[in-house]
Amino acid sequence: MNQGRLSTEFRDRTKQFAAAIIRLYIELPKMCEEARVLGKQLLRSGTSVAAQVREASRARSDEEFVSKLGGALQEADETQLWLELLREECGIAPAVTLPMEKEADEPMAIMTTMINRTKIKAESRN
């Protein structure tokens, strides 16, 4: 089923990712300043993915769709960075971060394909 330009399944997947990020943030150590700071960055970028996907699904033009989806793609990539740093520099267990990193990877590939196809479609009309 579609809701706007994107399927309900894809919108739900990014919402579930945001919920998992929130749960991870809640479990981060509160006494480690580095984990606290990186955790806030993670929370912001990880939840922004779902928000921008929602915005993209309601885009009024191909250009707006590409822009919003591009923003979601950037936030997903940034989320991966914070997850990597939490694992590598703050000692957060790989069992916690690696599944989330993988889950960010898959929507990034999907969004990249959607952006490229939309651009190609727009160029062919011109």
Q: What is the CATH number of the domain that holds 76?
A: 1.20.1440.60
| Count of structural domains, the chain | 1
What are the per-10-residue average pLDDT scores of the chain (126 residues)? 83 97 96 95 98 96 96 97 97 96 94 95 82
* Residue 118 belongs to domain spanning: 2-125
Write down the pLDDT at residue 3: 67
Distance set, CA 75 to CA 30, 32, 34, 60, 62 (Å):
24, 24, 20, 21, 20
Q: What are the residues whose beta carbons fall under 8 Å from the beta carbon of 58, sequence distance 6 or more?
A: 4, 5
Q: What is the pTM of this model?
A: 0.91
Number of Cβ within a 10 Å radius of residue 19: 13
Write down the pLDDT at residue 1: 57
